[in-house]
Structure 1
Amino acid sequence: MYPPVDPIIFEVGPLALRWYGLLMVTAIFTGSTLASRFLSRNGQDPDDFWDMLVWVLIPSLIGARLYYVFIQSPRGPEGLGYYLSHPASIFRVWEGGIHIFGALIVGGAAVWLYSRVRQLPVLLYLDAIGLALPLSQAIGRWGNFINQELYGPPTTLPWGLRIDAPHRIPPFTDLVTYPDTVRFHPLFLYESLWNFLGFALLFWISRRFAQHLKPGDLILSYLMVYPLGRFFIELLRTDSWFFPGTPFNAVHIFCAIAVVGAGITLYNRHGEALRQAFKGH
C-alpha cells in the first residue's frame, strides 16, 4: 500500500487545504447527519443537535489534541519534550495527532452540560452520537494513511504499508536495519475496518431492537464494541509509551474499563428481560 496523494490538496499563499482536514470535516458532517436523523426518528428536533454541535466539537477537538500531546506524545524520541520545546506545534492539528479518548472524555462532558442547560434528553443525544461515531471514525482514519502515521511493526503481509523515512519513528529510522523495502502494519486500516463493522452492528441493533432499547443503550454498546477492537489494535502500536516490561499502555486501561463498565451496565438494564426470555423458551 502506498500513500497515493500529497497531504496538501492545494495552496493559496500561506493557506493550504489538506486531505487530513478535508477527511475530518467529511467524517464530522457524515456522522452529524446520521445523528440528527436518528434524533428526528425519535421525536427530537434535529436543529437542536446542529445547534449543539459547535459547543461539543470545539471541546472535543481540544480534548483530543491535549490527550495526544500529554499522554500519547509519540513525536520521535523526544516525546512530550518535543511539544514542550516547540509549544506552537501543539496547535498544528492539521499535521495529525488527535486521540479519540480525549474527545470522548471532554466531548461527553460537553454533551452532558449542554443537554442539561438546554433541557434536552442527554441519553438520547449520547445514543445518537454513539451510533454516528464509528462511521465518522472509519472515515477519519484515512487521514492517518495520507499523513503516513498510525502504523505498526514491520510485516511481510501483502497489504503492508510503505512509510517514507521522514515519517518513521525509532527504531525504524535506521534505514540499514529497516530499508525502504520494509513494509509496516497499516493500523489505520485495521481500525477503519473495525469501525465500519461496528457501525453496521450498531445500526442493525438500532433498527432490529428499536422497541426494546432504552435511552443510553446505544452509547453503552459503542463503549463495548469500539474499545474491544481498539484494545487489540493497540498491541501493535509503535508510537505509544508502554508500561515498563509490558505490551500495555494507558489506552488498554481505558478500553478495559469501558468494555467491562458498559457490559455490566447493559446487563443490569436488560438482564431480567433476558432471563425471562430464556425461561419462556
Structure 2
Amino acid sequence: MTGVNSASAAFLATIPSPDRGVWYLGPLPLRAYALCIIAGIVIAIWWGERRWTQRGGTKNTIVDIAVFAVPFGLVGGRLYHVITDWWRYFGPGKEPIRALYIWDGGLGIWGAIALGGVGAWIACRRKGIPLPAVADAIAPGIIVAQAVGRLGNYFNQELYGAHTTLPWGLEVYQRFDPNNPAIPDQGPTGVAFGHIPLPESPVHPTFLYELVWNLGIAALVVWADRRFRLGHGRAFAVYVAGYTAGRFWIELMRTDDATHVLGLRVNVWTSILVFAGAVAYIVFAAKRGPREEPETLRGNDITDEAVDHSAGTSAAPDGREKAASTADTSSTGDQGKGGKSAS
C-alpha cells in the first residue's frame, strides 16, 4: 500500500505526456503538431489584423499578406530544419522523402521568419505599404503562435531536456508501433501502451519553458509598443531580441540530437547572432523618428480613394456646367418667344 501511495505521489509531482500525437477519423489522420501550427497561424493573423487597423491600416490587409507570407514561412521553416539537421534525412539507411513530411514535426523558426518575411515583402510591395509597419503589427501574434506551436512538441513527446527531480518534471514514455506493440516507435505516430517511462524520465519540459517565455515576450512587446509608440520595425525587433534571449538558455538545456558548431548547438549560435542584430536594429531604427502616420499604412487603398474622390469632384462641375447651359438656353428661348409676342 505504501508503494502505491509513493508511486501516486511521484506521478502527481510530474507532468504526464500524451500517449500519442496522432488520432484517426477513419483513414484521416489528425496530427496534434499540425493542428497546433494551424491554430497559431490563425491567432497571429487575427491579432495582427486587429493591431493593424488600430494603427490606421486598412481592414483585411494582414489577411492578404498572410496569403503570401504563410506558405513562404512554412517552406522556409522546413528548409532551415532540413539543412541544419540534414543527417536525419540523408545518408546510408535514411529516407530522403521524409524531408517533405512537415506533419511529423521539424520547423525552424529562423527559416520561417526569414522566408516568411520575403513573402510578406512581396505582398507589401504589391499593396504599397511599408513592411516594417506590418512587422510591428504582427510581432506579438507571431510569438504567441510560436507558443501554441510548442504544444505540438508536447504531443510529439520531443524537444525536452535532461533528467530532473523538480515538481514540474515531464514524464516521457516508451511508444510503440500502433499496429504492432512489440515494435518501439518514438516518432509522432507511436503510442505509449502501458505508459512505460523512458530511463531519463522525468525530464525538463523545455517546450513548456519556451511556451511560457514566449507569452512573456508577447506581453513585453505589447507594453513597450504602447509605452514608447514603437514604429519602423522596432516592435518586431523587440520580439526577436526577447525570443532569442530565451531560446539561448533553453537551447542549452535540450538533450535531443542536434548539429553542433564549435561545441555548441547550431541554434545557440543563431540565437546569439540574431539577438545582436535585433538589438542593433532597435538602436538604429530609433533615428527614423516616431511611428508611421496612419495614411502611410493604407498604400494603394488611399490612392484609389483619392482617384475616386477626384472623379467625383470633377463630375460635379460638369453637371453644374450642363445645368447652367441648359438654364441659359431655356432662358434665351423664353426671351425669344416673348419678343415675338410683344412685336
Fold shared per TM-score above 0.5 = yes
Counterparts in 2 of 1:193-272, with a 5 A limit? 193-210=212-229, 213-238=230-255, 239-244=257-262, 246=263, 248-270=264-286
| Conserved 8 A contact 2:234-2:281 | no
The CA deviation at 1:101 is: 0.8
Give distance in 1, aligned partners of 2:207 and 2:269: 21
The residue number in structure 1 matching 2:305 is none
Q: Which moved more, 1:189-198 or 1:90-99?
A: 90-99
The residue number in structure 2 matching 1:28 is 41
| Conserved 8 A contact 1:72-1:240 | yes
Runs (5+) with no aligned partner, structure 1: 169-177, 274-281
The residue number in structure 2 matching 1:121 is 130
Give distance in 1, aligned partners of 2:285 and 2:108: 30
Runs (5+) with no aligned partner, structure 2: 1-14, 175-184, 188-196, 290-343
**1:188 and 2:207 aligned:** yes
The CA deviation at 1:250 is: 2.2
| Conserved 8 A contact 1:162-1:182 | yes
Give distance in 2, aligned partners of 1:228 and 1:257: 11
Give CA-to-partner distance per residue, 1:237-268, whole Å, 9 cap, x none.
22212125x2x222222222222122122223
Within the candidate set 59, 79, 89, 1:46 is matched to: 59
Instruction: Tell me the secondary structure at the aligned position of residue 90 of structure 2.
Output: helix
Give distance in 1, aligned partners of 2:144 and 2:216: 9
The residue number in structure 2 matching 1:144 is 153
**1:8 and 2:27 aligned:** no
Provide TM-score, normalisation by structure 2: 0.69
Assess, with a 3 A threshold, how the Cα gap between structure 1 residues 179 and 36 changes in structure 2: closer, same or farther: closer
The residue number in structure 2 matching 1:172 is none
The CA deviation at 1:229 is: 0.5
| Conserved 8 A contact 1:153-1:236 | yes
The CA deviation at 1:98 is: 1.0
Give CA-to-partner distance per residue, 1:54-93, whole Å, 9 cap, x none.
21111111111121122035xxxx5343699313212221
User: Which one has the largest radius of gyration?
Assistant: 2
The CA deviation at 1:181 is: 6.5
The CA deviation at 1:163 is: 2.1
Counterparts in 2 of 1:149-160, with a 5 A limit? 149-160=158-169
| Conserved 8 A contact 1:83-1:89 | no
Assess, with a 3 A threshold, how the Cα gap between structure 1 residues 96 and 44 changes in structure 2: closer, same or farther: same
Within the candidate set 105, 125, 135, 2:144 is matched to: 135
Instruction: Tell me the secondary structure at the aligned position of residue 115 of structure 2.
Output: helix
Give distance in 1, aligned partners of 2:59 and 2:288: 33
Assess, with a 3 A threshold, how the Cα gap between structure 1 residues 138 and 66 changes in structure 2: closer, same or farther: same
Instruction: Tell me the secondary structure at the aligned position of residue 163 of structure 1.
Output: coil
Query: Which letter maps to 1:202?
Result: V
Within the candidate set 30, 37, 57, 1:17 is matched to: 30
Give distance in 2, aligned partners of 1:159 and 1:34: 31
Assess, with a 3 A threshold, how the Cα gap between structure 1 residues 70 and 123 changes in structure 2: closer, same or farther: same
Instruction: Tell me the secondary structure at the aligned position of residue 10 of structure 1.
Output: strand
Query: Which letter maps to 1:33?
Result: W
Q: Which moved more, 1:264-273 or 1:197-206?
A: 264-273
The CA deviation at 1:96 is: 1.1
Query: Which letter maps to 1:190?
Result: Y
| Conserved 8 A contact 1:83-1:90 | no
Give distance in 1, aligned partners of 2:125 and 2:159: 37
Count of aligned pairs between the two proteins: 255
Query: Which letter maps to 2:160?
Result: Y
Provide TM-score, normalisation by structure 1: 0.83
